[in-house]
Chain A
Amino acid sequence: MMSDFLSVSNLSRSYGEFHAVNDISFSAKQGEFIALLGPSGCGKSTTLKMIAGLELPTAGKIEINGSDVVNTPPGKRNLSMVFQSYALFPHMSVKENILFGLKARKVQKQERNKRLNEAVEMVDLGPHINKKPGQLSGGQCQRVALARTIVSNAPLCLMDEPLSNLDTKLRAEMRSEIRSLQRKLGLTVVYVTHDQIEAMSMADSIILLNEGRIEQASTPEAFYEHPETPFVAKFIGHPPMNLIAFDDLLVGVRPEHIGLVEQGGLAVSVVECDYQGSETILTTSFKESTIRLSLAGKRVLAPGAAVNIQWVPENEHHFSSSSGQRIERTNSVMNS
């Protein structure tokens, strides 16, 4: 088995009484793409900054390629970083921006130019290298930031919400571009995002953080099919998973797994019917819970109408309502 390229153990960072990052551990193999996912303020950016060395941990260990780097300055950790704001130096041309790190590290001119040409070709920036960042579009700025990573030859790349300043269409394009670049270069990537789609579509494994702690760490498939806590269940999927209280159980069912039936199942009443083109989101109420359904095509149901809904037991997730932990399936509530 390959050893871990990056390993973070018992990492904590607190500001006074506030624990931004609270005792988290994870690791990444060489060439692995890890997403740190979570809502804002969950500690994902702080974790990334600690790996980069821009922020000092209050406790814990960070190892890169087998050596402890906690006391190593950022420039000596042999990693590159892509920032949310791209962090392009506005007073330098694209070319100078890309070469900045190589000059700081006193790489020979010939070698510098060789790497520059390779990188510029890879991210398709050829005609722009003498422009200033202010003259570039958001997507082009993003490419310059990537080119900076490429020329550095660093095996580890940290990305801090790199796509959040782009529009939806460009974002989808850049997702696959970053992913293919990462594969081509064999980079180990730690990718911070609050966007579940980015995490699900790009990462080999996802670490979901909540209030400074790891909520779940697993593959994207496991996140969808096997959420460990109600928080995970609600975070992944759109619209989020329904959580319905049955006695001491929280039962989770995804809206796309629920169908309408003529009779049987659960009797609920319609609250709202929201047509979105390829599907209709139906909001219903059942006792004190709200249950959403995602139905294909256009459906029109009047508010207040009584309907019956049903799902197959395999798509049911059970959580203990006291501890919040996942319980392996007992009996389906559909049968009771």
Chain B
Amino acid sequence: MNRILSIISTSLAWALGILWLFPLLYAIWASIHPSEFVTRFELFAPLTLDNFREAWNQAPFLRYMINTVAITMLILGGQLILCTLAAYALARMEFKGRSLVFALVLMQLMVVPEILIVENYQTLAGLKLIDTYWGVALPYFASAFGIFLLRQTFKTVPEDLENAARVEGCSLLGTIWHIYVPLAKPTYLAFSLVSISYHWNNFLWPLVVTNTEKSRPLTVGMSIFGAPESGVDWAVISAGTLISVGPLLIVFILFQRQFVQSFMQAGIK
């Protein structure tokens, strides 16, 4: 009885696993075979890279990719600097209204920038940052998630370590850099992976704030890639999709363990 249950349970687990991987597996199938095999599954169908060539020529993927990398890095850099300083202040400095500021940060965990597309668009238009990397990046710099995560980590650093550093003649910024940052390394890694995968995939805000190839990231590029309604070639679409998810997917598969652990760690806090 228990044995049968075990088998059923294991089969269900794998069935679900295959179902979950299916869109990706399918995209790979469709992209490496000629169009007529999009709905015909033959094990020995001829292989081809034409679809990738076609997709690559249909849209400026290289430009999109450069934009995505630049935007993701700009956001991550801004977040790391701002969140570190804010988290330190909220964890270790005493000032009036600290708990109010912290409550506002927590509130922002809920009210993510996507919700405020209309207002943020107006603000950035006022700053003349529409269709620039900075325009895409700016609303995400003060990440409430990053501040919260780092504050929790900084609070676990023994205060005596900071005292020792200060007695030894280290400045405030020096203390943050030499003591707090190295001790929070796992948190930085976790936050960075979460942030990179979030912004690599982010769509709505970049769609609103970019107008041209100059700043458009991969996701926005993909949304205007081909016009699926007008009987477009699914094999080419699949190839384009794989090109757009490829870099992140490769990084993910290589660092699978760290990714999962990072998301877990970020989730527990």
Contacts and interface: CB of A to CB of B under 8 A. Distances in A.
B182 A104 contact: no
Interface in A164-209: none
A89 interface: yes
Nearest to A81: B167
B168 A85 contact: no
A104 B161 contact: no
B168 A148 contact: yes
A83 B165 CA distance: 12
Contacts of B179: 89
Interface size class of A (residues with CB under 8 A): 20 to 34
A73 interface: yes
B184 to A, nearest CB: 10
B126 interface: no
Contacts of A84: 160
A75 B167 contact: yes
A81 B166 CA distance: 10
Given A89-B179, A91-B182, A83 B170 contact: no
Contacts of A90: 183
Nearest to A106: B169
B46 interface: no
B112 interface: no
A152 B168 contact: yes
A79 B178 CA distance: 21
Interface size class of B (residues with CB under 8 A): 10 to 19
Nearest to B179: A89
A95 to B, nearest CB: 15
A47 interface: no
B77 interface: no
Interface string B170-188: 1100100011001101000
A101 B168 CA distance: 4
B265 interface: no
Interface in A40-77: 49, 52-54, 73-77
Contacts of A54: 163, 166-167
A74 B167 contact: yes
B18 interface: no
Contacts of B165: 89, 100, 104
Contacts of B160: 83-85, 87
